[in-house]
Every structure is written in structure tokens, then in C-alpha cells.
Structure 1
Amino acid sequence: MLLRLRNLGLRDYVDVWDRMRQFTDTRERESADELWLTEHPPVFTLGRNGDRAHILASGDIPIVQSDRGGQVTYHGPGQLVAYAMFDLQRRQMGPRGLVRHLEAAIIGTLSQYGIRAQARADAPGVYVDSRKIASLGLRIRKGCSYHGVSLNVDADLRPFRQINPCGYQGLEVTSLEALGVRVTLAEVGVSLTARIMQEFGYTHIER
């Protein structure tokens, strides 16, 4: 099974979101699944049913009401974002399976850097002890997924103090850098892509 990989670099959140929706709405049954790796300028995003009360102080950071699931999160430079445009209907996979495999891919990636991480049944995402290092926010339309996961590599974590991350008051957030791992987004992107291919059974990649 083929996976098409796109490395987008630093891109505006709304621009990428628009492109994801367009891709999902126009893809055909034979269209290859795609994985987009990117990072965004600073932005707070709210899910479809996100409560703005969880934004404690936005400051100069813009707020975008998105169509993904979940509450509020922060995106910024130094955070690897992986958007998964996968045909779930074709692979007979439901939302829970998608979340489980994406979390496993993140956990496997972190294990390569000596970090023991885990998922939580009560709160999607990946955690190191009680600190969140990766968030998930997804949308499924026409049997296909878009949006995806964000992993803190060497991002500035201070903006997370301006929100209740994912709607949880007092939730601590961490990053690879904060855990003593110095690695580039590009290197983590290679590792995460390999883990996603393994988790979802992709055998070929096209860049």
C-alpha cells in the first residue's frame, strides 16, 4: 500500500487546513493516502466544540476555530505536526483504531530517543509521566481522515500556560528538548513517518 509524503515546512495553519479539506473533498477511491509534515507559526486552535473559556490569555497569538475534534491547543515553531489524510473506509478502520495507531506511532518514535511514553484511555494524546508531549485532533469526512497529531520537539512551551491544554486545567506539557533530547524536526519526521508506515501497513512511500 502506497503512502504519499509531503514535507511542507513552516506553513500558515489556515492555509494548510484549507488544503486538507480540499484534498479530502476531491479525492477519489483510488487516491493514495497522504501524510503531510509541517510546522506552523504561533496559533491557538479550537476544535469544533471547543470552549473559548479554556483560552486564558491569547496575547498576540491568533485564535482559529477549526473543524477538528478536541478542545484548544497551541501550534508553533519547533513542533512537528503530522496530518493524516487516510481512507479509513478502504482499510475498514474506525476512529478508535486511527487514534490507537497514531498514538502507537508517537510512542514508538519517542522510544527511539530513550523516552518511555504512554497513551491514556481518558484523554487522547501521548504522555511522559503526567506531562503531555503529543496531542491528537482529527476529523473524518466521507470515510476519510484529516488533521492529525502534533509532537513537541523543541517548541517554546510558554504559550501552553495561556490555555488549559486540550481543556484540562493545570495539565503540564513537555517536549523532547525539555526531556534532554536534542534532535531536529527533520530527524523526528523521518522516525515518525517510518513508525506510521509500520502501524498502518504501508509498504511503499512516494515523496
Structure 2
Amino acid sequence: MSRSRLLHLHLGRTTYVAAAALQRSLVSAHLAHKCQSTSTRSPTSLQTLTPSNPPDPTVITSEFHPPVYTLGRRESRTPLTPERESYLRVRGSELRYTPRGGLTTFHGPGQLTAYVIADLRHHGLTPRCYVRTLERALVTTCAQWGIRAFTTEDTGAWTSEDRKIGAVGVHMRRFVSSFGVGLNVSTDLWWFNRIIACGLEGKGATSFVREGVVGVGVEEVGDSFVKALAESLGCATIGKKSREDIPPDLLVGGVGEVS
């Protein structure tokens, strides 16, 4: 069952911590709604109570600064050695362990990061189909600027067999999604040289700029991605809000890591 509206929260340039805190708040709202029983009967009146409408599916778009390397859940079980952590903390970059799928990747200036919080069951999606939906939205977004991207047996969006332009890494809890995609627009690809991106030996990263598309902003690309995703999810409208529209307490702190 699709929903009529997709909520788009655009944070602009922000920290990983702020985006993660907002994401946790939204995931908690979805999980709290799922905990409501579909009907509650009073022992005296046998009255059936109707639960409130579920939260809107939401996309948080941002551009992380300072730069950050994020590690997937498999790596989180065995933390990096101090030497490896020191190697990744370069030029003021951060290092964050996350519960998402996938391995180490990079987020920073010039890259669109889009976190998608949605109850997949409301859209009739399995986790596997959802990942394909994100990949198709990346491919459609690239096509808007004449970039021929495609999918392969390796997750993400690619412009050649060994150049990835968009990465996908998600987390699911009771069919509620979190995390999402990273799409390189004007990203400094030097950052990817320090890691085996997503654990794929012999593969590299590319960007809009490397593919010959210059002068395009991350927000503009984010709008295109959200539109493509809304169409895939069956959402008829998009409600976009900027950072100024979001309560400040949702951007810091949070209610604990998603697990």
C-alpha cells in the first residue's frame, strides 16, 4: 500500500551526528506507531479504537562536513585497530561505526547523502526489492544530467564495470528502513583512495564532475533523487522542508542508536 506524500527534509551541509540524530527520531516514530495495536477494546464498552495514521515516509538529504568514514555492521563487530583508525582520521575526518549493511565508505562535501526512513510494508516492498528501488532512483537521477549509470551484481550505481558513482547501505528494523545512499556529485575522490570502498577490491569511485558534469549542486541532485524515489514508492506529492523548519532538539542528541 503506497502513501500519498513523501516528506523531504533537506539539512544542507551538516554533521553526521546531526543527520543521525534526526534519523533516529524518525525511526523511533515509525516503530512506536507499529507498536500500537490495530484495535484496542475497552473491557467495559468493547469500543474499538482506531490508531493514528502512520508517519510519512521521509528522506533526509545532506552533505556531510566534516568528512566522515562510516563502517558497516560487520565491521562494527570487530573494531578497527588504533593504527587503522588513525589512518582514516585524516584532514579532520571523523570515523563512525553504524548498523547499516555494507562495509567502509566515505561521505563528505560534494556528495549527496540521502537517508530514507519508511515502513516497507506500506509500499509492498521486500528488503531486496527496496535496495533495487534505491538503485533505480540513483540511475534515474544520473540520467537527468546525461550520465549513463547502471546496476550490476554489486550493490550501487555504476558508470563502468569498475567505477561506482552511487553507494547503497541500509538498515532494517521491523521493516522500517534507515540509512540509504551516497551519490558523488563534486566529491574529492582522493578520500576513496584510502579505503577499499564497500569492500570491493579493484573497484574505484567516480562522480558527476569526473563524468563531465560540472556546476551542479548537491541540493539540486538531491531534489532529483527524491522525485525519482517518490515515483517508485507511489507517492503523489513531496513535502520539502529545510533545516530551519526542523525542531533543533531533533538535530542533536537523539534517543539512542538504531539496533
Give the TM-score category using the shorter length. Answer: over 0.9
Q: Percent identity?
A: 34
Deviation at 1:14, TM superposition (A): 2.3
Deviation at 1:15, TM superposition (A): 2.5
What one-letter code is carried by the residue in structure 2 that aligns with 1:106? L
Deviation at 1:192, TM superposition (A): 1.1
Aligned counterpart for 1:57 among listed residues 56, 75, 87: 87
Instruction: Note the alpha carbon deviations across 1:48-90, whole angstroms, 9 max, x for none.
Output: 1127489793142221111111100000000001111111122
What stretches of structure 1 of length at least 5 have no aligned partner? Answer: none
Does residue 94 of the first structure (1) align with residue 126 of the second (2)? yes
Judge which range, 20-29 or 158-167, deviates more.
20-29
Aligned counterpart for 2:226 among listed residues 179, 193, 197: 193
Deviation at 1:199, TM superposition (A): 1.3
Distance 1:49 1:5, change over 3 A: same
Judge which range, 149-158 or 5-14, deviates more.
5-14
Instruction: Note the alpha carbon deviations across 1:139-189, whole angstroms, 9 max, x for none.
Output: 011221010001000011101001010012232110001111011112212
CA contact (8 A) 1:197 1:203 kept: yes
The separation in 1 between residues aligned to 2:224 and 2:177, in whole angstroms, is 21
Distance 1:56 1:104, change over 3 A: farther
CA contact (8 A) 1:56 1:164 kept: no
- TM-score normalised according to structure 2 size: 0.75
The separation in 2 between residues aligned to 1:132 and 1:167, in whole angstroms, is 12
Q: Residue 46 of structure 1 aligns with which residue?
A: 71
What one-letter code is carried by the residue in structure 2 that aligns with 1:24? V
Judge which range, 87-96 or 68-77, deviates more.
87-96
Deviation at 1:205, TM superposition (A): 1.5
- TM-score normalised according to structure 1 size: 0.93
Instruction: Note the alpha carbon deviations across 1:109-142, whole angstroms, 9 max, x for none.
Output: 1112111111112x21111012010001100112
What one-letter code is carried by the residue in structure 2 that aligns with 1:98? Y
**How many pairs were matched up?**
206
Does residue 128 of the first structure (1) align with residue 159 of the second (2)? yes
Aligned counterpart for 1:163 among listed residues 195, 211, 214: 195
Judge which range, 106-115 or 51-60, deviates more.
51-60
CA contact (8 A) 2:29 2:55 kept: no
Q: Secondary structure at the match of 1:49?
A: helix
Judge which range, 160-169 or 48-57, deviates more.
48-57
User: Between Structure 1 and Structure 2, which shows a larger proportion of helix residues?
Assistant: 2
Q: Residue 145 of structure 2 aligns with which residue?
A: 113
CA contact (8 A) 2:12 2:62 kept: yes
What one-letter code is carried by the residue in structure 1 that aligns with 2:228? R
Judge which range, 50-59 or 110-119, deviates more.
50-59
Q: Residue 26 of structure 1 aligns with which residue?
A: 29
Distance 1:188 1:45, change over 3 A: same
Judge which range, 147-156 or 42-51, deviates more.
42-51
CA contact (8 A) 1:38 1:80 kept: yes
Distance 1:138 1:38, change over 3 A: same
